[in-house]
Structure 1
Amino acid sequence: MKLSLLDQVQIGTGRDSASAIADTIALSRHLDKLGFTRHWIVEHHAVPYEACVDPMVLACALAAATTNIRIGVGGVLLNNYSPYKVAESAQTLAALYPGRFDLGLGQSVSGPLPDLALQPDRSRPLLHDQGDKIHELLGHLFADLPADHAFARLKVMPDVAPVLPWVMAVSPASAARAGVLGLPLALSAFHKPELAVASAASYRSSFQASRRKGLPQSPQLFLAIRLSTGVDQNQAERLAMPMRWCFDQRRRLDTMPDRLPSVEEAVTLAGGVWPAETAEWPMYTICSLRDLRDRLHTMAHAVDCDEIMLQDVLPDPDMRLAHYTAIAQALAN
């Protein structure tokens, strides 16, 4: 099974933004040596304990520090940007690191204030059509906008092989969009994991092979999950607490913690260690290293893929290095 990482570039206990970025570069080198397939950076705004506000810039640093692993943005929030500008940044990375850059296309909100601050025109309501923006972006990347398009004469490095664009999806409807466009699918099992199997089926049934060179001729997808694992179930549940407590504060109480707590702090703040969910498709996959292989293979089989992208919210950089070393070893044995 292929392993990848979706990275929030968390600012660990006693760290700052600069050290968090340095930690992520060191982690990328480590993942490269472990044989991970991809290292993607999220785009989040106004999160005090994360340093991933400009993943395109950080992707350049990661690619420069590594050799084989694919570097990606997962994903660029098209609702905030001009597709033309995104294409320019993406093609610059494609020219610098041929065949190693992935462009994940997402649609998410960062909150009323950062969403407004990201817009060039704050005098009008925010209007956005994700489908239209993806179509325009693809036209720029592959230099095939219709002749009557307003931007048809604009060319974005047409002599550079286009980056590989991925549609990030949560629901069957958004997964079907990827299929109709003939694009690979980054299937998120974060927010609504119970939809993962239906979304994968929707993508496959709607898939239409594209005539654009470099795009897959058959469905291509990976599954993204939040994972915590340890030597036994108790340790896995304990290590999951910073992640679970932070997301609980954000989603249930609409409160943004001002820093990432240590494992012990998270346990104290939460009033103890929360047991792992028992659902077949949990929001947080929490299991021992002994059970990890079977757990991941079962999930991958259910959506018919051979790659899983993992996300953690561990507060210590050394802990993260050890976490992914243990995962790679567990899957290799």
Structure 2
Amino acid sequence: MSVLDLVPVRSDQTTSHAIASSVALARAADDLGYRRYWVAEHHNMPAVAATNPPVMIAMLAAATRSIRVGSGGMMLPNHAPLVVAEQFALLEAAFPGRIDLGIGRAPGTDPVTSFALRHGAGGVSDEAVSRFPEYVDNVLAMMEPEGVGLAVNGRTHPLRATPVATSVPTIWLLGSSDYSARLAAEKGMPYVFAHHFSGQGTAEALELYRSSFRPSPELAEPRTFLTVNAAVAASDEEAEALALPQLLAMLALRTGQPLTPQRTVEEAEKVEVPEAHRPLLEAMRSRWVIGGPERARDAVARLAATYAVDEVMIHPVAGAHEGTEPASSPAREETLRLLAG
């Protein structure tokens, strides 16, 4: 098992508190033997502090001993490929053998913020997304120790992400549709399906990836896993209560409601969900791992068997009760401990 972290910000937290909570969570995951710890890229969201994965990865890798740390993912159309290659080549040099670069093509934000990000990084949104396969190739090439040759004014200039690289991060493609599955298979790259966000089309995307896979020098056969939201507690009832704040946040996102910092459990329990929204809430909840330890571990094992993956990435979504120390997220840590057995 591995961990996905969006660095959530609760209504009782500052950004500093949220970062401290995630550092503690990463240390717990490291101690518990989780394989990797990824942080996502989201912008201009009141409940998400994960705006800059490379900065978070540097902090988390420095605070842990052996767990792999990476992005889940870097939204490549938001950035110049050379900048991403430089950032992750430097991280790999600082923490050799421990860095993953997960790449996605979604905006990770609203259209206005997306424009602000991409206007300075190579064009408008549609152009950046359409050039995604080219950008992936650029990052792959620039990251290699020998670099690439850039032709300018009839001369070829050497271009390297870092002067003397001795290793490169493992580079993954991420997606919640068949687009990235097809592209990862074509390029012979490892692939992750965002089951925690979509929950639909998982089997189809993984089958497309496996059936279309073309071996590459870096990867001889398909390599994939999936992500899942999880809230685990001593009892099923407590797990359900802890999952409610994130369920309401996702419901707001899916129904166009105003986004807010993540509620405490007590705040969430006071929210009246409109009858029209209850089917969507239940549909989302049914795809999450919520319950006591044995029930939750069984659910994760069934997911792994159903989709024939060797790894499941846990997104611990358990919220917090009022009065919780702001610089901590004990229920998220407990989710990881109980799943690890």
- TM-score computed with the length of structure 2 as normaliser: 0.86
Measure how far apart 1:172 and its partner are.
Answer: 2.5
What is the Cα-based RMSD across aligned positions, in Å?
2.6
Alignment map for 1:264-283 (pairs within 5 Å): 264-271=266-273, 282-283=286-287
Partner residue of 2:141?
139
State TM-score, norm by structure 1. 0.88
Secondary structure, in 3 states, of the residue corresponding to 2:50? coil
Question: Are residue 67 (structure 1) and residue 65 (structure 2) matched?
Answer: yes
User: Secondary structure of 2:114's match?
Assistant: helix
2:181 to 162, 175, 187: 175
Q: Pick which of 145-154 and 81-90 moved more.
A: 145-154
The alpha-carbon distance between structure 1 residues 299 and 280, as it changes in their structure 2 partners (threshold 3 A), is: farther
Query: What is the match of residue 12 of structure 1?
Result: 10
- On the 8 A contact 1:170/1:191 being kept in 2, the answer is yes
**Alpha-carbon distance in 1 for matches of 2:226, 2:102:** 13
1:173, 1:202 within 8 Å by CA — same for their partners in 2? no
Q: Which residue of 2 aligns with 1:107?
A: 105
How many pairs were matched up? 322
Quick one: distance in 2 between partners of 1:205 and 1:24? 37
Amino acid at match of 2:307: V
Counterparts of residues 108-127 of structure 1 (less than 5 Å): 108-109=106-107, 110-121=109-120, 125-126=124-125, 127=127
Q: Which residue of 1 aligns with 2:325?
A: none
Name the residue aligned to 2:247.
244
**Residue-by-residue CA offset, 1:87-108 (whole Å, 9 max, x unaligned):** 0000000000000000010121
Q: Distance in 1 between matches of 2:157 and 2:286?
A: 45
Corresponding residue number in structure 2 for 1:287: 291
* Mapped contact 2:251–2:280 kept (Cα < 8 A): no
Percent identity of paired positions between Structure 1 and Structure 2: 28
State whether residues 224 and 309 of structure 2, in contact with CA within 8 Å, keep that contact through their aligned partners in structure 1: yes
Cα deviation per residue 1:8-56 (whole Å; 9 max; x = unaligned)?
Answer: 1112342211121111111111110000111111111011122111110
Pick from 76, 82, 85: which aligns with 1:84? 82
How far off is 1:58 after superposition? 1.1
Q: Which runs of 5+ in 1 are unaligned?
A: none
Partner of 1:218: 221
Matches within 5 A, 1:149-228: 153-157=158-162, 158-211=164-217, 215-228=218-231
Distance 1:123 1:218, change over 3 A: closer
Evaluate the alpha carbon distance shift between residue 35 and residue 290 of structure 1 in structure 2; reply closer, same or farther with a 3 A threshold. same
Q: Which moved more, 1:29-38 or 1:146-155?
A: 146-155
Contact residue 12 and residue 314 of structure 1 kept, 8 A: no
Note the C-alpha offset of 1:324.
1.4
1:262-299 CA distance string (max 9 Å, x none) = 01211211459x79987799443333322222211221
Do the aligned partners of residues 192 and 260 (structure 1) sit closer, same or farther apart at CA in structure 2, a change above 3 Å counting?
closer
Counterpart residue type for residue 161 of structure 2: V
| 1:77 Cα offset (Å) | 0.8
Choose 78-87 or 166-175, whichever is displaced more: 166-175
- Deviation, 1:145, is 7.0
Taking a change above 3 Å as real, the CA distance of residues 123 and 325 of structure 1, as seen in their structure-2 partners, is: closer
Q: Is the 8 A contact 1:167 1:183 kept in 2?
A: yes
